[in-house]
Amino acid sequence: MQVKVVKFGGTSLADADHFRMVADIVRSDPSRRFVVPSAPGKRFRDDIKVTDMLFDCYHLVRERAYGEFESMYRRIRERFTGIISDLGLDFDISGELDYIRQSMLHRSGRDYAASRGEYINGLILAKFLGFDFIDPENAVFFQENGLLDSERTNRVLSAELRKHERAVIPGFYGAMPNGTVKTFPRGGSDVTGSIVALAAGADLYENWTDVSGFMAADPRIVDDPSVIDTITYTELRELSYMGASVLHEDAIFPVRNAGIPINIRNTLKPSDPGTMIVAEAPDTEHRNIITGIAGKKGFSAINIECDMMNAEVGYGRKVLEVFENYEISFEHLPSGIDTMSVIVATAELEGKRDRLLKSLQHMARPDKLSIEDGLALIAVVGRGMVKNKGVAARVFRAVSDADINIRMIDQGSCEFNIILGVEEHDFEKAVRAIYAEFDR
């Protein structure tokens, strides 16, 4: 039989109604054997995620604001006991909640506090589904430097999973070598799902959320963009890096190497096929030459002009060494014969502008040197572009027909990604123009 690992995000487990939907999804397919839950998320727009309330509790104890701590903790308690009673479950969680409260008051640490939302939600979900409960404290391990201990985790978790026909494994946390709880970065339950999928030797990692997959463009910019049906890991990396977010970036690594596909699904619309994330995808049809468009504002170009730059061996190295010395990482490096631009996130320049310019002047002796802020970068990504003629022409024509000036162009050697730099105020218009060109 196939094995599927299913991860449910916070909105998919925000209240009892959502728990029921989750249970229906899990029970409708017997191969959905291992379930990874997040902590309860928002039920409505101004609601607070349980993880955020737990962080607040941690800070309130540190500030010795015990009265506010108690009222915040009461709200967390009510969220969980509310879910249990609405589900009609005969399950007494008060001992666990008392223990966590005591531990927080005894300064058990930030990560411990943050992780308890997943822990309690996991206990409730395991009870509701009739599944075993595996505490990642005993199966997901970090190294002393805070990075995942992949080898040990995979070994111990695989052995543990083999003991269970069906189990719930809370997301987001594991243990340090000394046994204390450590969390992944925010949104890290996606990573746990991926780790469990690897350890289970799963055929598929289903990641259930509140959207029907990756959109081909940001729905805040483009009206009703289409959902991407298949995307490769590499394309996904490019789009996520440029701001498209549905899945935690680090979640792709464990499954990618093992060739396990990820399927992004919508808990509210379980019949939607969602987006498949795969290692290799078949060639796309003409209509889908572009897989997706993503972009971000907030970039700056450091423009350097120097006569005979191209003839001077080592010029680029001198320039980049200055950036390295100031610990500024660069995004792109478009260059001409006697010019080069270093594109960086504007935030990276904070407090370093003058010193950076002085050092560049000193080290590279340019004829002209300037910083230009207010750039937006747009990534047009699509494996269908590789070896397909005319795609770049269509991108540029669409942008120029929209009366937008392109400030920078970059295409990686892999040929499935064209990066455009435009003025920030042209950003949305350019994304819409490119999307419209390929949405035919």
Using CB under 6 A, list all residues that contact ligand ASP. 10, 38-39, 49, 51, 117, 171-172, 186-190
User: Least separation, in Å, of the C-beta of 196 and ligand ASP?
Assistant: 13
User: Least separation, in Å, of the C-beta of 49 and ligand ASP?
Assistant: 5
Residue closest to ligand ASP when measured from CB atoms: 189
Q: Which is nearer to ligand ASP, 171 or 225 (CB)?
A: 171
User: Least separation, in Å, of the C-beta of 7 and ligand ASP?
Assistant: 9
Tokens 């995307």 found at = 231
User: Least separation, in Å, of the C-beta of 114 and ligand ASP?
Assistant: 7
User: Least separation, in Å, of the C-beta of 188 and ligand ASP?
Assistant: 5
Sign of CA dihedral 385, 285, 241, 377: positive
Q: Which is nearer to ligand ASP, 117 or 382 (CB)?
A: 117
Residue 219, class by beta-carbon neighbours within 10 Å (0-12 exposed, 13-18 middle, 19+ buried)? exposed
Helix axes 94-105, 110-129, angle to 10 degrees: 170
| Cβ pair 30, 52 in contact under 8 A | no
Q: Which is nearer to ligand ASP, 115 or 417 (CB)?
A: 115
DSSP at 295: E
Q: Which is nearer to ligand ASP, 187 or 382 (CB)?
A: 187
Q: Which is nearer to ligand ASP, 56 or 426 (CB)?
A: 56
Q: Which is nearer to ligand ASP, 194 or 288 (CB)?
A: 194
Q: Which is nearer to ligand ASP, 229 or 249 (CB)?
A: 249
At 218 the three-state DSSP class reads: coil
Q: Beta-carbon neighbour count of residue 96 at 10 Å? A: 14
Q: Which is nearer to ligand ASP, 122 or 187 (CB)?
A: 187
User: Least separation, in Å, of the C-beta of 18 and ligand ASP?
Assistant: 14
In angstroms, the CA 315 to CA 306 distance is 10
User: Least separation, in Å, of the C-beta of 141 and ligand ASP?
Assistant: 18
In angstroms, the CA 9 to CA 59 distance is 25
C-alpha 198 chain-centroid distance: 18
User: Least separation, in Å, of the C-beta of 136 and ligand ASP?
Assistant: 12
* Residues 6+ away with beta carbon under 8 Å from 30: 1
From residue 5, give the alpha-carbon distance in Å to each of 18, 33, 40, 161, 326. Answer: 18, 6, 19, 11, 43
Q: Which is nearer to ligand ASP, 265 or 383 (CB)?
A: 265
Radius of gyration (C-alpha) of the chain in whole angstroms: 25
User: Least separation, in Å, of the C-beta of 50 and ligand ASP?
Assistant: 7
Buried b (16+ CB within 10 A) or exposed e, 2-27: ebbbbbbbbbbbbbbebbebbbebbe
